[in-house]
Structure 1
Amino acid sequence: MKGSCLCGEVQYEVDTLSSPIMHCSCKTCRKAHSAAFNTCAAVKPEDFRWLKGEDKLSQFESSPGKLRKFCSVCGSQLISTKEGMPVHVLRVASLDDDPQQTPAFRIWKSDEVSWLGYEHDMPQYEEWHPNR
């Protein structure tokens, strides 16, 4: 699957997702994405490649050891990495190709905004998924 930022200066390729797709409503994701939640999935580093524009990437340490990587031209967030974690966290909405799956659950329900209706049968967790 290929993906890119809004302006197209940064492009990447992912062989496969390493986790189900999830919605994260934690305060950090909401602020970083200016949205009610972030849709993400884990991807192993060996299944992820930058195709173009790696030199255009900037990063921000949003919490100790967690780096959010984004295009320095348009600001689109693409992945995050964290010290000691065996996977990257991919921003699924930056994919140009269909991942052939839908979100499986929501995390950080405790931080969800009150003004958005979450009407569905998707499993939800107050904070992290129990198998994290």
Structure 2
Amino acid sequence: MPTRRGGCFCGAVQYELTGEVFGARSCHCSRCRKAFSAQANSYAVITPGSLKWLSGEDNLKKYPEEGHEGRLFCSTCGSSLCGVVQGEIHGITLGCLEDDQDIEIKAHIFVGSKAPWEVMPENVPQYDQFPDNIEILTKP
């Protein structure tokens, strides 16, 4: 099983990931554009329990604070590190992953609401919303 490392911009939060990273996608919805101050959020799913915090876990904050879903970010530098669904880490933001040489974006989702100035890459499936064939983004 591959082992990968990742961390935030300032280095306060570091993690190790053991297992597959799958379902890599870029989400172009207006919420992701605002949350990540970018044209999209690149994100991949991980197996629950495969991420281990190496340092800085006490530096993590969740947004939104209430509820079972959200994102964890470094309270010092603001880097978004992972997503939480039903109280468990569901996936990681690819921008904070250090060992990413073999990861390929499988889909661009919510391109129906992408920024008008963004030029989409070729040869990667694009979906106006979330794809009907969810298996392409949820199975290794």
Asked if TM exceeds 0.5, the reply is yes
- C-alpha deviation, 1:130, in angstroms: 1.9
Within 5 Å, give how 1:36-47 maps onto structure 2. Answer: 36-47=39-50
Alignment match, 1:82:
85
Alignment match, 1:13:
16
Alignment match, 2:73:
70
Alignment match, 1:108:
110
- C-alpha deviation, 1:19, in angstroms: 2.2
TM-score w.r.t. length of structure 2: 0.84
Q: Matches of 1:113 and 1:56 in 2, distance apart?
A: 32
Residue by residue over 1:85-108, the C-alpha shift from the partner in whole angstroms, topping out at 9 and shown as x without a partner, is x76121011011125121111111
Q: Does 1:30 align with 2:43?
A: no
Q: Matches of 2:51 and 2:101 in 1, distance apart?
A: 14
Q: Matches of 2:17 and 2:123 in 1, distance apart?
A: 28
Alignment match, 1:56:
59
- C-alpha deviation, 1:54, in angstroms: 0.3
Q: Does 1:126 align with 2:128?
A: yes
- Number of residue-to-residue matches in the alignment: 131
Structure 1: stretches of 5+ with no match in the other structure? none
Contact 1:25–1:106 under 8 Å retained in 2:
yes
Q: Matches of 1:54 and 1:88 in 2, distance apart?
A: 16
Q: Matches of 1:18 and 1:89 in 2, distance apart?
A: 8
Runs of 4 or more above 6 Å deviation: none
Cα distance change of structure 1 residues 9 and 87 upon mapping to structure 2, 3 Å threshold: closer
What amino acid is the match of 1:33?
F
Contact 1:14–1:47 under 8 Å retained in 2:
yes
Cα distance change of structure 1 residues 87 and 80 upon mapping to structure 2, 3 Å threshold: closer
TM-score w.r.t. length of structure 1: 0.89
Structure 2: stretches of 5+ with no match in the other structure? 135-140
- C-alpha deviation, 1:63, in angstroms: 9.1
Q: Matches of 2:121 and 2:79 in 1, distance apart?
A: 28
